Structure 1
Amino acid sequence: CVIFGYRGAARPPLLFQTFSPAESHIFVALYQEGPYLLDPFHHAAVERKEGFWRMRELAPDRFYASEYYRSYYSQTRLAEEVGFFVPLAGKDALVLSLMRLRATGPFGTADARLLRDMAPAVIGFCKHRWPSLPAEGVAAQPSGETIAMANELDRAHIWKSLSLTSREKQVVDLVLQGHSTESIARALRIVPGTVKVHRRNIYRKLKIKSQAGLFARFVEIIDARIG
């Protein structure tokens, strides 16, 4: 079990965990360094989803074949992750994640039904325990508009060194999250052929040949931000 707070693209504060030190390194330390930006749970929290959700309900169509999954998420050795999504004041949110390892197997239908029924009580408890996220140096609670602007600026900072157009940056985001060409086309309301053109242009500009190369560039940028 782990509980993270989410505030736009900012580094998510850890609110609670039940991991061993070795597990915490993967689920918390590594996650907070940058992989959270590609996490379906992070995106769902920022989008203000509420209630009980399973990873399989939120993940993009190519999530389990994505470089993010192969390079980071597979290290967790999870059979399944589910979560209670709790919107807080302003644009903040927290997610209480429950996980089962491959050795145990995924949550059964009855388990998921019980957890879904428990959602109102769990959400109420979480809001009582954490009515707001830790300030982390912020003097005052920013408005929703300010948070949205900060989120956009933070993402712009992430990709600014890539010399890409605004649309190409959107495509990069979706590719790294695990969306297929068809899924990207639906999300951006363009035709799949246009997505393929954007991907070719992105690969040419970044001098890479695959999604693995794109993910490696993402890791380089995150490492540079931390450094």
Structure 2
Amino acid sequence: MQALLRELPLHQGLARLFGQLGGDGFWRAQVDLLRQLVPLDNALVSLMRSGQAPRLLADFDFAGAVDMADYGAGMYLLDPFHQAACAGIADGLYSLDGLAPDQFRQSEYYLSYFRHVVGSDELQFLLNHRGAVLSLSLGRQTAFDAAELGTLLCVRDWVLAAMRRHAELSAPEGLVGEPAVGSLGALLERSGVRLSEREEATARLILQGFSSKAIARQLGISPETVKVHRRNLYQKLNVGGHAELFALLLRRG
């Protein structure tokens, strides 16, 4: 009996969640329920579709005000979860470390932007629906440990089922994406400089947090050729390195 009483808030949260399916309060009920299981600093719901900017559906910040304007203006192009969703990904719960490039946490995107908007770690429930990917992002200033990830994996199936049912009951216009801001290369070319296809690909991978060796594997070229492309694009854009390249992208976005 005592065990059932301790779990009473969880059952009450499930009741609120079911009652909000298809309604305006669904995402708040979903996030509040997950916070009973794992501490969170923020949560974000978005719809991702290849060739479009993500549509932000709900935003909950429990640690202070966060401005998401830069994300929709172009920072999403560097988001590992957005990249994975647009490339094709199965329904499930995914971790930042499981999807991010090898040097993501050393990238200027992570150091100057991601840590301040999301935190040091992120998990996302991803659900394919009507040709798009519906995302429920859970962010925190401290890393999720194995026990917390295990807890969320235990509830993954009903979380995804609730997300799917809510999406089926929602108005179709609520699941339409936003116009794309253009490719990363197009944003950089607002500086008046045109990059070659290889230079643009190198710039994108640098900004996403890939090491030179990982870029070489991605593009099927040698690490020495990567260095040549890196040097050429830095010269063309008149930047001194990774940090200045990211600052330029942020200004152009």
TM-score, normalization by structure 1: 0.80
Cα distance, 1:78 vs. partner? 2.1
User: Aligned ranges for residues 1-227 of structure 1 at < 5 Å?
Assistant: 1-19=43-61, 22-25=64-67, 28-50=68-90, 51-76=92-117, 78-90=119-131, 92-102=132-142, 106-131=143-168, 134-135=175-176, 154-155=183-184, 157-161=186-190, 162-222=193-253
Deviations along 1:83-129, one digit per CA (max 9) or x if unpaired, are: 11112222x11211112223xxx222122122123223222221221
Please, which runs of 5 or more residues in structure 1 have no aligned partner?
139-149, 223-227
User: What's the secondary structure of 1:78's corresponding residue?
Assistant: coil
From the superposition, tell whether residues 40 and 136 of structure 1 become closer, same or farther in structure 2 (CA, over 3 Å). closer
Q: CA RMSD in A?
A: 2.4
From the superposition, tell whether residues 160 and 8 of structure 1 become closer, same or farther in structure 2 (CA, over 3 Å). farther
Tell me if structure 1 keeps the 8 A contact 2:202–2:230: yes
From the superposition, tell whether residues 74 and 48 of structure 1 become closer, same or farther in structure 2 (CA, over 3 Å). same
User: What's the secondary structure of 1:11's corresponding residue?
Assistant: coil
Tell me if structure 2 keeps the 8 A contact 1:45–1:94: no
Instruction: Supply the distance in 2 between the matched residues of 1:219 and 1:155 (Cα, whole angstroms).
Output: 11
Q: Which amino acid aligns with 2:151?
A: L
Instruction: Supply the distance in 1 between the matched residues of 2:111 and 2:60 (Cα, whole angstroms).
Output: 24
Cα distance, 1:136 vs. partner? 5.8
From the superposition, tell whether residues 155 and 80 of structure 1 become closer, same or farther in structure 2 (CA, over 3 Å). closer
Q: Which amino acid aligns with 2:146?
A: T
Residue correspondences, number:
204
Instruction: Supply the distance in 1 between the matched residues of 2:62 and 2:157 (Cα, whole angstroms).
Output: 29
Tell me if structure 2 keeps the 8 A contact 1:4–1:15: yes
Moved over 4 A (4+): 153-156
Instruction: Supply the distance in 1 between the matched residues of 2:77 and 2:124 (Cα, whole angstroms).
Output: 17
Instruction: Supply the distance in 2 between the matched residues of 1:72 and 1:211 (Cα, whole angstroms).
Output: 14
> Identity over the aligned pairs, expressed in percent?
34
Tell me if structure 1 keeps the 8 A contact 2:102–2:214: yes
Tell me if structure 1 keeps the 8 A contact 2:108–2:246: yes
Cα distance, 1:17 vs. partner? 2.4
Instruction: Supply the distance in 1 between the matched residues of 2:105 and 2:48 (Cα, whole angstroms).
Output: 23
Q: Which amino acid aligns with 1:218?
A: L
User: What's the secondary structure of 1:130's corresponding residue?
Assistant: helix
User: What's the secondary structure of 2:225's corresponding residue?
Assistant: helix
